[in-house]
Amino acid sequence: PDLAAKVEKLKTLTKESQEEQSKAGLDTLTDEERVRFLSLNESYRVKFGFPFILAVRNATKYTVISAVEGRISNTPEEEFVSALGQVHKIAWMRLLGAIDYPNPAGFLTCHVLDTANGCPADNMRIQLHRLSPPDAAGLIAEFRTNDDGRLPGGPALKGSDFQVGVYEWTFYVGDYFARKNTTTTGTPFLDEIPLRFGIDDPTEHYHVPLLVSPWSFSTYRGS
């Protein structure tokens, strides 16, 4: 179905589509945004001969407009592949919402490395929050890293607690570097580091580490 048509006829959609469009904020487009989106969508349809498709459940209206702006420069062959990928995402997310997985095999781990001192970041305080789904949002747990910079006791999330959604680590690096007597500024450049990430597959291992100094940090999805 045409995403632009969905914007114009939101109340006539299925429950799933209404929920997805509302989460993306497509029902709150300003007049300028609506005109811009409909114009881009028409140009897209003329060029490719099929409607613009985007998995909008975890997108914002800015994501939607940015996506059509970026994809309209594709070749027809490239865009057909992109559109099929979006159909796969839509089907995947709806499938996850329709089935019950009471004891998923996936789990979440963390590892903190102190790149300033060249060692694991031991005894660092870390909090894990769940941000979505909203009915399960809140603080999950607080940890202290062990001598290896890992979480004591194994995964931060596993079993029934390991749910698809958006999460956030908070790393209290200012306290850690004060304990290590590492030189910092009076107003720390990095004090608390929030790291937001998404879990999309309840069957997989998500390793979300932090490499940190008083002046920089990086992360990646490890294994």
pLDDT, tens only, 67-119: 999 999 999 999 999 999 999 999 998 888 888 888 899 999 999 999 999 99
Query: Cβ distance 192 to 202 under 8 Å?
Result: no
Of residues 47 and 11, more confidently modeled: 47
Rg (CA), the chain: 22
Interval 125-155: pLDDT, tens: 999 999 988 888 999 999 999 999 999 999 9
Among residues 111, 110, 116, which one has the least CA distance to residue 212?
A: 116
Of residues 31 and 3, more confidently modeled: 31
The terminus-to-terminus CA distance of the chain in angstroms comes to 37
Whole-number Å distance between alpha carbons of 128 and 137 = 11
pLDDT band for position 13 (50/70/90)?
A: low
pTM reported for the whole predicted model: 0.82
Whole-number Å distance between alpha carbons of 20 and 174 = 39
Strands 119-120 and 112-114 turn out to be antiparallel
Residue 203 has a CB neighbour count (10 Å cut-off) of 9
Quote the tokens at residue 109: 């781990």
pLDDT above 90 covers a percentage of the chain that reads 70
SS3 category, 6? helix
